[in-house]
Every structure is written in structure tokens, then in C-alpha cells.
Chain A
């Protein structure tokens, strides 16, 4: 029999982790408004470490707003956020964010490698510049999304799917523990979709926690182990097989949802 020696402290840490799982994100009573219109209405939920959560809801349900409010990119009216059971702090290097592609001007004068290196700016320090080590990390991240050959390409020359993979690489290079992705699957080609799925799987196998805003209801059960249904209020949150049900979806989408057959879902918006 093979023996592994660990210190008592390590053992305790391991036990603790096995007994009560660490909460990666805990949101209490989160509300947010946009120009006096309430977009998020007192959300409360907590997400366990190592889960892959799909955030689902109709257009204007506040999915993007929720992510931005959690990350402090959008002012919130009420509520408190706790990351990794700690007090609320700016956890620059532990939180990763993949915004929607349209959030930036892709005609900006820079190349792919540069954009990915920007994911390391939180670690490089204010007056230091990226060096060989950082460039290597950025190339590695690009390899994970099959974009290494485009490292020196101008970002204005990328297709939509390639832009999405660059954003993904920029988040991966950070090696964060909790990732937020805003509609990474929206309008991308098949190759990009495959790449994103494999990245999500890899992140999960590494014990990272990921929240993904997702539009395509049909793929939710295949991609995510947890699902968060949102329509300004929190409709339901839990493991996909328990939460992703006809009743809760009807509650989320109102009358806008039609059922095709027994358990096939189609969206009509």
C-alpha cells in the first residue's frame, strides 16, 4: 500500500474541506437599480466551491447586472457579498470575469497577446511591465483556447468566436478561483463552443467555481451541474436535475415558454 504523509494541519484542512464544503460566493439581499428602475430584487443565495452554475432567465432579467453588481462593477442599492467565506474584499487575483464581446471596441490598436497579458495586470504591480514569464503564461492560456497561432494578430482581424476565445484566455491566464462569464456561447461558431465547453470542464476538474450566463435552454442540463433561475428576483437555485424543471422555468419565463414533447425545451422570444 502506498503511503502519503501529510502534516496535521494539512490533514485538518483536508477534513474540513470534505466535511463542509467551502462557499465560494455568498450573496445576501442583493438589490440593484438602473435609472430608478429596480433590476435586481433582493437576491440571496450561496454557491459552493467547485460547481458549474448556469445563470438562466429571459432578456432583461438582470443576469449581466447581477454579475456586475457582485463584482462591484455596478453600484448596488442593498446587499452584501462574501467571497470564499471571507469578509468582502477586493480579491483582484481570485476573481475572473469574461464580459460580453460587445463590451469593448475591437478596433482598439493592440494584438491578441497584449489583450491576454492584460489578465495579469493585477499581479504585475503598478510600475512593472509584463516580462518573458508573463508572455509565456499568456501563450499557455492562448493554447488552451486554440488561439496560440493568433498571438500576434491584430484584434480587429478576429472573428466573433475568436474574440470570445481571447476574452476567455484573458480570464484563464489570471488563474482565478471564481469565474463569471457573461454569455460566452452567444453567437459563436461550433469550434469556439467546443473550446469553451472543454475549458469549463477543465476548470471544474481543477476545483474552480464558475458562473455562466446562458441563453440556450436546451444545453443547460448538459453543460451545468447547477442552475440559477433569475427574473429580477431569484426564482430558484440548486442542482440542475432538481431545479431545472418545467414549473420553475414557467415561473422564470412567464407565459413565454413552450414545451416541445416531454422534456425538450425550446425558447420562443
Chain B
């Protein structure tokens, strides 16, 4: 499990960053601001910056709310830059996901009573170029996301 959970060093990253914070909802802002600051060398557009911030926010919220079920724990955030590609990993050692495919369905939520929309993974997939989820019940979850920055054209909101 640990093997999957660490970023592939053979990728020869130009820059990398790792931070650890308590699984508390007030740290969601910290996580997305940290990634936004880390990716500035890529010279992202305002849209790309928002996309990444939203995706990071979703993954961190999942880790806190579902991974650790709002109890104590540590969330690890790892970022890497490789050319014009940003890689972000959000790792928790919480309850894990038994059925990843079901969890990634739009509108699926295991906690409908909590005002959740069930759109977390859908937003991650919509706003990032690639999303990988590794999870084992009882061991935790790693969400790895990639985004190529600086070249993606702005996508209009569909009417």
C-alpha cells in the first residue's frame, strides 16, 4: 500500500512539496492555497487556478469527512511539477473506500444527511486532466490528480 501511496520519484520532478495537516475542516483553505502558490511557476490562467483549487478542496474534504469521518487524523498533501504538468496527491489513512467505482458516480454520497451533493469526484474529474484513486478499506485512500497548465483553453459553461 505504501508503495502506491508515494509519488513516483522516477518521474524526475522539477519541484516537489509535501505537507501534513490535521484533518480539520478549517485546513481545507490552507491546502488549496498551498497548491495554488506551488503551481505559480507554471503561470496558470485564472480558470486553471480555480479548477485546481476546487479539485484539491474536494479531495481534502473527502479525506476529512469520509476518510477520517470528522475524527482525528492526518492528511498528507504532496505536489510535484514536471514540465507544465502539476501532480497533486491527497493521502489519508482513514476508513478507505470499498467500492471506488460507486463512490465516483455523480450524485453518489454516503452521507446525504450532511448536505453533500455527491459531486466531489465528478468535479475532480471535470476540472483536472486525470484522476487516479487508490484505496483499501481500513488502510486509507490516495487521490492523485494531474493537470497540464498554461495551455488549456477556457471551457464555456454549457447552457
Q: Do A and B bind each other?
A: no
